[in-house]
Structure formats: C-alpha cells, structure tokens
C-alpha cells in the first residue's frame, strides 16, 4: 500500500471471526429461549445439557458487545462524513425495520384476525404499541408484550442506535474509550442498587440502563482499536486473549452459580464479567482476512458458523414465534415432560428450521431493502485524521 494513502477504515474491513461469534450467540440463545426442561430436574449425563440451556441467555450479552463494537467503529470512522446522521440512521433502518415490522404486521394485521396466533400472543395485541415503538423492554414484569418477549433485546439495541450517534458525533476515540468504561461501571452500580432495593429480576435483565455495560464495553474496544498505542498492545496480546477469556469464564462459573440468569451474583457483577469476557473474545476475533489467523480466528471463521451468523438477525426474529406457533403444537404431550433426547432433537430442529426460514427471508425479502443501503454510504469530506502514537 502507498504510504501516502490513509489507512483503510477498520469498519470497512470484513472480519470473518466476528460473523462466527455472532453465530455462536444465536446458537446459545435459540435453545435457551425454547428450552423444554425449565423447572425439570435432569441428572447424570443429562445435567450438563440443562446447564448449557440455562446459560444460553448469555448469547444476548455477546450480541450486545458485538453491536457496541461494530456500531461504534462505524460511527468513529464516519465522523468526517457530511451525511453522518442520515447515512447511519438510514442504513440501520434498512437492516432492522423491514423484517421487524414485517413480523408485527404479519402477526397483528394478518394472522391475528385469522386466529392463528397463540393465546399468549393474542393477549399482547391490546398493548402492541410497546412493540411498535421499541419500548417493550420497559414493560418487564407485566404481560404487556409477553407474546413477543424476545423482542426486548431488539428494543435495547434500537434505543442504543438512536442515542449513541448523538454522543459520538464530535468525540475522539480516547474519549469514547473513557465514556464506554464509565458507562460500564455505571451499569454495574445501577444493577446492584436496584437489586438491593428489591427490583424485579426481569427488570434488571431487560432495562436498557441495566444492560448498557455490554454495549459500552464493545464500544470501548472499538475505540481502543483506533488508538495506535492500544492497537499495538492488543496485537501483542492476541495469543493470550482467548485463554484470558476462558479463565475468566471458568472463574465466574462457581462464583455466580453457573451464571444463573436471575441470581444475585449474576445480575450484579456477573453480567459485567460476561461483558468483559465477550469483549476480550471480540478483540481476539477482530482480525481482517489478510492477516495470518491464529487458532481462535480459524475456529470462528468456519464457514457454517459464519453462515449462521450472517442470518442470525432473522433467526432471532423468527425462532420464538416458530417455537410457540408450531413447535409446541407439534410436540403435544412431549413438551410437558421431555427427555434429554427430545430436548436435544427439538433444539437442533428449531435451529435448523429457523436457519432455513431466515435464509429464505434474507434472499427473498430483506435483500430488496438492503440493496438500498448503497444510496446511504458515508460521504467523507477529507482524509481520515490519524491518531498519533499516544492516541490523542
């Protein structure tokens, strides 16, 4: 590359392992959300299965870290664009809204009057405004949006997408790093205070102010990757990062009682621990394809896993309705008292069905909207400002 040319923006580089990490996230979430063994005691060889299903909620935490990392990187790299706001909001809208609102229209406008929806989902119809406005995560503890309970995390992300560009418009990477770390600490303090005050565990799980540490640490990592001193330190630590993440995760298992989703330890410092672990994993995987990959990057660059990551958004949107509309009805009496074999078979079947439907959705529906993103490319007004070695 000509040394006179500015370095390519990191957000324009494809990082295959991040697609694989996204695939891991959805493969954790779907079996957890559709688990048939909640409240059922599994022992012996089946016990690890139940533990894996219970910890699957952490996949959402990984999604949040990835979102914070990728969105913040794109915003930092487009700060000099004359269409900074319009390009970002339009591209996000084209990615998220057609499928999300398509699902709501299909559910409430088309299928609802036909009586196809479950009673739980039909009961949501009277308060669907929370879903249309991406505020369903603030209704935790009530039945307001229970029929589409998995949409709470999309609400958190949309609130992040709405506000974060405003904060970052003129902020340097070092200041974004500091802000991200401060927000992560604030989220820990807020969760701890709310838990001690007796707030609902569901509120701590879904309120944006309680989940912003994962988004913020992902954002801090993106800022660090754009500061030469930090970038060099991260590059030197690459061989150790996956092992650091593994050690931290294993250390947290007994201390949080296997990362029990509503446990006191998990809902206070445990969520922050997972956010740190996943941030370390994202940093380990944030390698462009022209760099020689280590074992971690090779594992998460595996084709099938990356493919699952590519369609993970649609898989997330479809899996819960597919589980409630079709899966439970097909299982019939087996859903009430499943064996470990039935649980495994059902989880695999639901993942595969979600993947097939997501593939069809992407290529037959979403792609038409995604092609419009070419009209909203950031229009850079000058060469990107390079940070000096101190990161200033």
The DSSP letter of residue 213 is H
Predicted pLDDT at 86 = 97
Predicted pLDDT at 338 = 82
Burial per residue of 132-152, b for 16 or more beta-carbon CB atoms within 10 angstroms, e otherwise = eebbbbbbbeeebbebbbbbb
- Whether 225 and 241 have beta carbons less than 8 Å apart is answered as no
| Highest mean pLDDT of the ranges 12-26, 35-49, 66-80 | 66-80
Predicted pLDDT at 390 = 34
Confidence class for position 296, pLDDT limits 50, 70, 90: very high
Return the minimum-mean-pLDDT range out of 245-259, 314-328, 375-389.
375-389
Instruction: Give percent above pLDDT 90 in the chain.
Output: 73
Return the minimum-mean-pLDDT range out of 19-23, 87-91, 301-305, 339-343.
339-343
Confidence class for position 45, pLDDT limits 50, 70, 90: low
Confidence class for position 112, pLDDT limits 50, 70, 90: confident
Cα–Cα distance, 107 to 151 (Å, whole number): 14
Cα–Cα distance, 148 to 121 (Å, whole number): 7
CA distances from 361 to 252, 277, 283, 286, 353 (A): 38, 32, 31, 28, 12
pLDDT single digits (tens) 54-73: 899 999 999 999 999 999 99
- Mapped onto helix, strand or coil, the DSSP state of residue 380 is strand
Q: Which residue has the higher pLDDT, 49 or 300?
A: 300
User: Any residues with CB less than 8 A from the CB of 330 and at least 6 apart, and which?
Assistant: none
Predicted pLDDT at 40 = 55
pLDDT exceeds 60 at position 8 = no
- Mapped onto helix, strand or coil, the DSSP state of residue 40 is coil
Q: Which of 118, 139, 119 is nearest to 129 (CA)?
A: 139
Confidence class for position 249, pLDDT limits 50, 70, 90: very high
Cα–Cα distance, 18 to 365 (Å, whole number): 24
pLDDT exceeds 60 at position 41 = no
For 230-247, what is the mean pLDDT? 95
pLDDT single digits (tens) 336-386: 888 888 888 999 999 999 999 999 999 999 999 999 999 999 998 765 544
For 192-198, what is the mean pLDDT? 97
pTM beyond 0.85, yes or no: yes
Backbone angles phi, psi at 81, to 5 degrees: -80, 140
Q: Which residue has the higher pLDDT, 127 or 34?
A: 34
Look-up: residue for tokens 């699952």? 308
Q: Which residue has the higher pLDDT, 142 or 349?
A: 349
- Mapped onto helix, strand or coil, the DSSP state of residue 81 is strand
| Highest mean pLDDT of the ranges 115-129, 192-206, 286-300, 369-383 | 192-206
Cα–Cα distance, 387 to 91 (Å, whole number): 27
* Three-state SS sequence of the chain: CCCCCCCCCHHHCCCHHHHHHHHHHHHHHHHHHCCCCCCCCCCHHHHHHHHHHHHHHHHHHHHHHHHHHHHHHHHHHCCCECCHHHHHHHHHHHHHHHHHHHHHHHHHHHHHHHCCCCHHHHCCHHHCHHHHCCCHHHHCCCCCCHHHHHHHHHHHHHHHHHHHHHHHCCCCHHHHHHHHHHHHHHHHHHHHHHHHCCCCHHHHHHCHHHHHHHHHHHHHHHHHCCCHHHHHHHHHHCCCHHHHHHHHHHHHHHHCCCCCCCCHHHHHHHHHHHHHHHHHHHHHHCCCCCCCCCHHHHHHCCHHHHHHHHCHHHHHHHHHHHHHHHHHHHHHHHHCCCCHHHHHHHHHHHHHHHHHHHHHHHHHHHHHHHHHHHHHCCCECCCCCCCCCCCC
Average pLDDT across the chain, whole number: 89
Cα–Cα distance, 276 to 265 (Å, whole number): 15
């Amino acid at each position: 590359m000509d040394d006179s040319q500015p370095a390519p923006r990191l957000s324009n580089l494809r990082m295959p392992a991040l697609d694989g990490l996204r695939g891991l996230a959805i493969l954790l979430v779907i079996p957890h959300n559709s688990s048939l063994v909640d409240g059922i005691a599994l022992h012996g060889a089946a016990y690890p299965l139940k533990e894996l299903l219970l910890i699957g909620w952490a996949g959402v935490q990984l999604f949040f870290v990835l979102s914070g990392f990728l969105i913040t990187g794109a915003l930092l790299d487009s700060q000099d664009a004359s269409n900074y706001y319009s390009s970002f909001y339009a591209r996000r809208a084209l990615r998220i809204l057609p499928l999300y609102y398509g699902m709501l229209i299909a559910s409430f406008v088309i299928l609802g009057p036909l009586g196809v929806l479950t009673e739980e989902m039909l009961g949501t119809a009277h308060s669907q405004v929370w879903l249309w406005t991406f505020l369903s995560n603030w209704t935790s503890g009530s039945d307001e949006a229970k029929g589409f309970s998995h949409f709470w995390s999309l609400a958190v992300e949309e609130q992040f997408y709405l506000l974060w560009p405003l904060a970052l418009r003129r902020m340097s990477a070092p200041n974004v790093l500091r802000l991200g770390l401060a927000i992560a600490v604030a989220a820990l303090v807020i969760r701890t205070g709310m838990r001690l005050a007796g707030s609902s565990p569901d509120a701590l799980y879904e309120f944006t102010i309680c989940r912003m540490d994962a988004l913020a640490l992902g954002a801090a990592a993106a800022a660090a990757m754009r500061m030469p001193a930090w970038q060099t330190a991260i590059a030197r630590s690459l061989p150790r990062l996956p092992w650091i993440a593994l050690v931290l995760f294993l250390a947290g298992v007994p201390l949080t009682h296997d990362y029990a989703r509503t446990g006191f330890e998990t809902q206070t410092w445990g969520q922050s621990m997972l956010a740190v672990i996943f941030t370390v994993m994202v940093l380990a995987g944030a390698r462009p394809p022209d760099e020689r990959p280590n074992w971690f990057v090779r594992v998460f660059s595996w084709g099938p896993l990356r493919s699952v990551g590519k369609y993970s958004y649609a898989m997330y949107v479809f899996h819960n309705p597919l589980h409630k509309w079709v899966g439970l009805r097909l299982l019939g009496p087996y859903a009430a008292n499943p064996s470990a074999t039935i649980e495994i078979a059902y989880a695999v079947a639901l993942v595969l069905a979600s993947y097939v439907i997501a593939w069809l959705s992407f290529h037959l529906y979403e792609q038409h909207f995604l092609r419009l993103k070419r009209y909203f490319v950031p229009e850079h007004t000058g060469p990107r400002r390079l940070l000096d070695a101190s990161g200033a």
